[in-house]
Structure 1
Amino acid sequence: MNVLIVEDEALAVEKLRSTLRAVEAQAAVVGVTGSIRSSVEWLRTHPAPDMILMDIELSDGQSFEIFRQLQVRSPVIFTTSYDEYAIRAFKVNSVDYLLKPVEEEDLKAAMQKYRDVHQKQPALPAFDVNVLVKELQAQLKQPEYRERFLVKLGQRFVTIDTSEIAYFFVDGRLYYLVTADGKKYTIDYTLEELEQMLDPKFFFRAGRSYLVHLRSVVQIHSYFNGKLKLQLKPAVLGSDVVISKERTGEFKKWMGR
């Protein structure tokens, strides 16, 4: 059995390795990843493992985002520090969840459950991660979002409150923050990383190049092929800010929330 471990704490990785060896002598750890980005890259470039042991909280966000970026074809056993009351939500989706630190008896039982299910239904169906996330959000405290950014201004640093930001954008390999009064600063985060840091009630990903604040959208125009074109304040020069046809419904719902 080939196993991928998705865990960002070195001690937890070693604990999982030793526990796995104790309960599954034939298991081989074929990879270890510690972030959403590295996990997605690993799964895209390697054959699907027989099993994934996956922590929920990773260095760059919750591991549920992995399932939004690609189809995970392997059965997953989540490891979590959440209490048992919260874990009830997971059980609805017929996926196993183990409290950390993972004990041999618990992992052994989870492996046996996988075998029992796999024998009856070799092609395991994908579970709906969106349902899972909604159930968790109803029971767990909401995540803490970024309130300010430290940016460089000449030879000094200044802080920019999130409420002052109009939008973020990428130009080539550089990422920028633009404030409501039109000031522009370079930042060290990608748009994907910023999406994890910012409250989705106020920020929306517009295409590949923009992450916009609700208040920065001053006009919305119909565009070709069912797309939408946004007019932002401060104005964007030299490029269009476009919402794809596939995301127009989601965008309209976000704007009217």
Structure 2
Amino acid sequence: MHILILEDEIPAYQKLISSLNEHYSSPYTHDWARSIKDGQDLLHKNTYDFILSDIQLLDGASFDLFDKSDPNCPIIFCSAHDEYLFQAFNTNGIAYILKPFSQSDFSKAIKKYEALFQQGDYNPLNTNTLSELKSALQDEHANYKKRFVVKKPKGIQLLNVTDISMISASGDFCLATDMYGKRHPISQSLGSIYEQLNPNKFFKINRSEIIHIDFIENIESHFKNRLLITIRGAEEKVMTSSSTTAEFRKWLEQ
């Protein structure tokens, strides 16, 4: 088993290796590339059983790599981008793992690859498919905020939107909580922030809090038609307002 991993972030690469080690009991080999250039070199020199690929690499989108080098193997995309990017496309990407993923998510994707590959039941990438994927990615980039600039005592840091579990109003600014429970100040109003976020991912559950759907761990009923929500990284549960509960339920099922 020889695998190509296309991932620009070192912690994400390490997580993929950990997931592979847990899934496979027998030995496997792998190559790792963080850029289109390095990935292209590896694809020209080697053949792979399958590819684990992020969408955004150091020097561009992995779609550009697959456009230049035609990989004759299935691709499993591992990314924080919305699943809608792939729902309409018939590609080698026989599975799509949405970050942050669990071991169960990872294993399901690998098992799907194994079943389809043994049957030969997958279709190669083609120019039309790649063009549509690129167009969808450009539309997503154009519409929604990807990161916030956060001012810290030691300087300026970048906070990726995909790492935010919730955002709370705090006076004249807001606090964004990440998956590790760390809080980051954002010098904008809650309303202004909400307008910049992908509505498929973020919901304003009350007048002072926005939550990210990928970090919801549990939802329970509460009094007066409200819901108590457990968010990964948050110290306390948050609550929908009576006026938002119905819309929130619809949002969860979309």
Q: TM-score, normalised by structure 2?
A: 0.50
Q: Indicate the structure (1 or 2) with the bigger Cα radius of gyration.
A: 1
Q: TM-score, normalised by structure 1?
A: 0.49
